[in-house]
Structure 1
Amino acid sequence: MDFGSILLSAGTALISPTTAAYALAAIGLGVHFGYAGLLNFGQAGFMAVGAYTFAITTLTLGFPFWLAILATIVAASVFALILGIPTLRLRADYLAIVTIAAAEIVRFIVTTSTGGLDDTTGGASGLNGYNAEFAGMNPLPAGTSLLGLSGTPLWGAIFGWALVIIATVLVWALMRSPWGRVVKGIREDEDAVRSLGKNVYSYKMQALVLGGVMGAMAGVIFILPRAVQPGNYGTALTFFIWTALLLGGAATVFGPIVGAMIFWGVLTLSDGLLRGLVAADVLTFISSTQVGQIRFIIVGIALMLLVVFRPQGIFGNKKELSFNV
C-alpha cells in the first residue's frame, strides 16, 4: 500500500476547488441556518442555478467572465426571492419543504430533453467548454503545481479559496454589525424582535438572498475545473453541505471551512486506505466497487459521534443551539 500517495491525495482534497465550493456553500448555509434560523434544504438548487447561469450566459450569450459572474449573482437573488416571498412569513418548516422541492425542480428542468430546452442546458449530458476564458486568465507560470494540482484546477482552487476568504470576512463583519445582531435575534425569538419594531420578513429575505448568492458562487467554483452535470445537484449534495456545516459548527465563522476540509479529507483518506486494503487482500469481504459507499458510512458514523459528544460542532457554542423554529 502506497501511504505516500494516499496522504498526497488527501492533502490535495483539502485545498481542491471542490472543497472550496463546499466551504463557500456551507458558509451560505450557515448564514441561513446558523445565524438566521432558516431551514434551507435546497442549497444544491442555488448551486445548480449558479452553475447553469454561468455556463449558459458564457456559451449561449457570449458573456465575458465577470459579466457571467454578475448574471449568476442576479439569478441567485431572483431564485431566493421566488422561494422566500411565499414562505418567509410562515413557519420555518414551510421554507424547508419549498427549498428541497425547488432544488429538485431545477434539477429536473435542466435534465429534461423535451421542448428543445436541452439545446440550452445540455440535458442529461450537461455542458462544457465554458471555462476557456477562466483558464486563459491563469497568471501562474506553466508547470506550476501544488499537492498534485496544476493548470486550471490549481487556478480554480486559488480563485475558489479567495472567494471563501472574502465570504468569511463578510460574514464576520456582518454578524458583528447591527444587522447581524438583528438576524441572530430573529433566530432566537422573532416575536421579540418584531416587538422592537424590526421588519422580520425583510431581514429574513436579506439573509436568504445573501446565503443563496454564496451558494450560487459555490456552484461556479464547483464547475470551473469540470463539466456541468445535472446529476451532481441531487439532494445528496445539500446533505453533504449540511454535514460540513454541522462538523465545523453552524453559527461560527471558520466552522464551515474546517467542516468542508474535514469532510473531503476523511472521504479521500478513507477511500485510499480502503482501496489499498482491498487490493492487498486484507479486506476480503468487500469489493472495490463497494468502497465508495463504505467511505460515506464512515463519515456518517463520525457525524453521529460528533452529534452525540459535541452537538455544537468543532467550533460551535452550545448557546448558539437554541433556535425558535
Structure 2
Amino acid sequence: MDTIQFILNGMMREALSPQTAAVAIAVIGLNIHFGFTGLLNMGQSGFMLLGAYGFAISISNGLPMILGILFGFGAAFIFALVLGAPTLKLRGDYLAIVTISAAEIIRYVGRSALLVDFTGSAQGIPGSQYTTGFRNLSFFGTGSFTLIPFNYTDVADGAAWVRIIGWIVAIAVIVLIVMRFRSGNAFKGIAQSAGMAGLLVFGVLLLFFLFPVPYQSTGVSGWWVRFVAWGLALLCTLVVFLLVRSPWGRLLRGIREDEDAIRSLGKNVFSIKMQALIIGGLFGALGGMVYVLSSSVQPDSMGRSLTFFCYTALLLGGAATIFGPVLGSVLFFAGRIGIKYTAAAYVPDSIMSNQQTEQFSYIVVGVALMLIVIFRPQGILGNKRELRFNV
C-alpha cells in the first residue's frame, strides 16, 4: 500500500509540474493548428524555443521582464510569418516537412558556438540569469507549505481503508467529469456550469487530500511558478473557448473540413490560415517561456521529441476539444511517471535497472499512442466527426 501511495504521489507531482503546464499551453496552440484548422505543424517546439530564447536573452541582458515577454512573442510572430508565407498555400504534408525542418534549424542555431554569448550554445542559459525578477513578483512569501494541510494522514492515522475509499471516490468523480465533458453539455446553462464547476473543485480538493505535495513557497520550482503556470494554462483554455465559439472559429472548422467551400464563399483562406498559425505559435512561445521558468534554456530540451510529446498529449486528450490539451498533457506526463515508478518498484533489477525504466516508460507510452490512434483516434474527449481534415 505504501508503494502504491508513493507511485501515486509521484504522478501527482508530475501532474502539477510547471513543465506539464507549459506543455499544456503549447498543446493548446497546437490544437488551434491541427485540431481546429487542420494544419500539420510538426515544429511547435521551434515556437517554444524562440519564445524561451527571446524571454531569457532579453532579461539576461538587463531588459525588464515585460519586454522579455514581448521579445519572445515577437520572435514567434516573425517565425510564423516566415514559415507560413511560402507554405500555407500548399498541401498540409509540405507544411509538416517545412515546420519540422525549421524547428530543427532553430535548435541547431541555438547550439552554435558562434552564438555562445547570446544563447549559451549547447549548455544554454542558466535560469539564475533571468528568473530572479519573476520570483520577486511572488506574494507567497518564504518557506514551504502543503496546499491543503488536511489530508488522508489526519484521518485514522492514514489507514489503508481511508486511502482505498478516497481512491474509489476520486476515480468515480474523474469518470463523471469526463462523461460530462464528452456529452457536450458540461457548461450549457447556469445550472450545468455551476454543477460542473463544483464537481471540478471537489475533484481537485479530493486529489490534494489523497496526494499531499509540499513545495517551497517561492523556490525555483515552488508553488509560485506552479500557480502562474497553471493559471496561464486555464487562461489560455478560456481564450480558445471564446475564439472557437466566434465566427472566426467556425471558419477554422470550415477550412479544416473543406477549404474550397470556404473559398467559394469569398473568404481569404490563406489569411485565416496565417492567423491560426500565428495565434497557435504565440501560445507555443508562451509555453516555452513557462517551460524555462523552473529550469534553464537548453536547445536540446525543446527538440523534435517535445513536438511529438505535444501531439501525443493532443491525441490522448482529444483534438478539436477545449479541455483535451490540458487533460492529455496531465495524463501523458503523470502516466509516464507512473509507469516508470511502477517498473522500478516491482520489476527486479536483474531484468530492468532503474536507468532502463526511463526508456521503458517511453516505449509503453508509444505503444499506448498506437493503440489510441487505432481504436480511439478521437481521444478521450474528442468526437470522430472532428477528424475530417482537408490536408
Normalising by the residue count of structure 2, what TM-score does the alignment of the two structures yield? 0.79
Q: Of the candidates 106, 109, 118, which is equivalent to residue 120 of structure 1?
A: 118
Pick aligned residue for 2:306 from 227, 237, 244: 237
Asked if 2 retains the 8 angstrom alpha-carbon contact of 1:12 and 1:148, the reply is no
Amino acid at match of 2:65: F
- On the 8 A contact 2:20/2:329 being kept in 1, the answer is yes
For 1:17, the equivalent position in structure 2 comes to 18
Tell whether the 8 Å contact from 1:8 to 1:148 is kept in structure 2 after alignment. Answer: no
Distance in 2, matches of 1:87 and 1:305, equals: 32
Quick check: 1:26–1:245 contact (8 Å CA) kept in 2? Answer: yes
Task: Tell me the CA shift for residue 2 of structure 1.
Answer: 3.4
Cα distance in structure 2, aligned partners of 1:85 and 1:308 = 34
Shift of 1:48: 0.4
- Give distance in 2, aligned partners of 1:161 and 1:284: 40
Residue in 1 that maps onto 2:93: 93
Alpha-carbon shift at residue 142 of structure 1 (Å): 1.7
Q: How big is each residue's C-alpha offset from its partner over 1:228-284, in whole Å with a ceiling of 9 and x where there is no partner?
A: 111102211100010000000110000000000000111111111112224xx3x53
Alignment deviations for residues 43-65 of structure 1 (CA, whole Å, 9 cap, x no partner): 010110011110000112x1211
The answer to whether structure 1 residue 108 and structure 2 residue 177 are counterparts is no
Aligned to 1:30: 31
Instruction: Select between 9-18 and 23-32 the one with higher mean Cα deviation.
Output: 9-18
2:334 alignment partner in structure 1: 265
Q: Any stretches of 5+ residues in structure 2 without a counterpart?
A: 148-212
Task: Kindly provide the amino acid, as one letter, of the partner of residue 118 in structure 1.
Answer: V
Q: Deviations over 1:103-125 (max 9, x none)?
A: 000000010113xx111110011
Q: Is the 8 A contact 1:42 1:100 kept in 2?
A: yes
Give the counterpart of 2:383 among 303, 317, 321: 317
Distance 2:121 2:69 in 1: 22
Confirm or deny: 8 A CA contact 2:55 2:289 kept in the other structure. Answer: yes
2:239 aligns with 170
| Greater Rg over alpha carbons, structure | 2
Which residue type is aligned with residue 121 of structure 2? Answer: G
Note the 1:120-139 alignment, pairs <5 A.
120-128=118-126, 129=128, 130-139=130-139
Q: CA RMSD in A?
A: 1.3
Identity, % of aligned pairs?
50
- Measured in 2, the distance between the counterparts of 1:3 and 1:188 equals 45
- Matching residue within 247, 251, 274 for 1:205: 274
Contact 2:144 2:214 in 1 (8 A): no
Distance (whole Å) between structure 2 residues aligned to residue 237 and residue 113 of structure 1: 23
Deviation at 1:141, TM superposition (A): 2.5
2:248 — aligned with what? 179
Q: Does 1:70 align with 2:70?
A: yes
Q: How many pairs does the alignment contain?
A: 319
In 1, Cα distance between the equivalents of 2:274 and 2:17?
A: 32
SS in 1 for 2:104: helix
Runs of at least 5 residues in structure 1 that lack an aligned partner in the other structure: none
Q: 2:286 and 2:237 mapped to 1: Cα distance? A: 14
- Greater shift after overlay, 63-72 or 30-39? 63-72
- How far off is 1:5 after superposition? 2.6
Q: Does 1:224 align with 2:293?
A: yes
Q: Which residue of 2 aligns with 1:59?
A: 60
Q: Deviations over 1:122-165 (max 9, x none)?
A: 00110012101111111113224342432332211111111111
What residue is the counterpart of 1:215 in the other structure?
284
- Could you tell me which amino acid in structure 2 is paired with residue 103 of structure 1? A
Q: Partner letter of residue 323 of structure 2?
A: F
Is 1:49–2:50 an aligned residue pair?
A: yes
Q: 1:308 aligns with which of 357, 374, 378?
A: 374
Deviations 1:54-89 (A, max 9, x none): 0000112x1211221122111111111010011111
For 2:4 and 2:44, the matched residues in 1 are separated by: 35
Structure-2 separation of matches of 1:123 and 1:189:
44
SS of the equivalent of 1:2 reads: helix
